[in-house]
Amino acid sequence: MVSQEAVASLKQLGLTEYEARVFWGLATLGAGNPREVATTAGIPYPSAYDTLRSLLSKGWVEIAASKPAIYTIRSPALLRREVQYKIDKTFQELQEVFKTSREAVPQVVYTIRGREKVLAKIAEMLDSAQKFVFVVAASALLSDATIKKWLQKLIERRITVNLITDAAYTPEIGRDYKLRFRDSVLAVDILVDGRQALIGLPDCSVCGWVESPIIAAHFQEFLELLWQKSHKSPVKNYG
């Protein structure tokens, strides 16, 4: 019986299902003709004949006798060295391509300086939102008329908004968001649709921005943990 685990491993080395079955069957026999190999591998005789010729062309088997045709596998140790050489060569070439492509990749995290530029980036992010926005910001910033207008547009567009702010929250900021509170908020954090993330100083004088689903996913885990540890009531002393 052919080992399915062995067949799966051989397929990872580039053999087809039939090639893997025939090779393992022939290894079990030691040597054999196509009909014997077909029986051992559990495949049709015509397929065994064609598969042995394919393995012969790939250098995995050799002919032990020609009349009648008797096949045997090549030395596993020799095959291992040859396969290992091909793998090493492929990965060396891949590493060179990888290094070249990495050099061409633009900066991942962008630093933005100046309040006007930071606010412009925030506006751009919020305007691009399609599903949800996560915002962590001090109530002083959220009280700004422009910021309130941007957030209200999100609500009008039926964008889900999770908002974490500080205990100085006032009702005029709005009640249409999913709200949580902290004693103080020391940074501006914004996540849009799990693909864009921004972290900035409270006064928006500088921020870091990235558009990367991988980085945004890690950032979202942090924000969700912060959400769980925040309070549901805007009271300064939580006891």
Q: pLDDT tens digits, residue range 102-129? A: 555 455 778 889 999 999 999 999 999 9
Q: pLDDT tens digits, residue range 214-226? A: 888 888 888 888 8
Q: pLDDT tens digits, residue range 170-213? A: 655 556 778 888 877 888 999 999 889 999 888 888 999 988 88
The domain 4-74: what is its CATH number?
Answer: 1.10.10.10
Q: pLDDT tens digits, residue range 15-47? A: 899 999 999 999 999 999 999 999 999 999 989
This model's pTM is above 0.75: no
Distance CA 84, CA 138 (A): 58
Q: pLDDT tens digits, residue range 130-169? A: 999 999 988 888 888 888 888 889 888 998 999 988 877 6
The domain 110-229: what is its CATH number?
Answer: 3.30.870.10
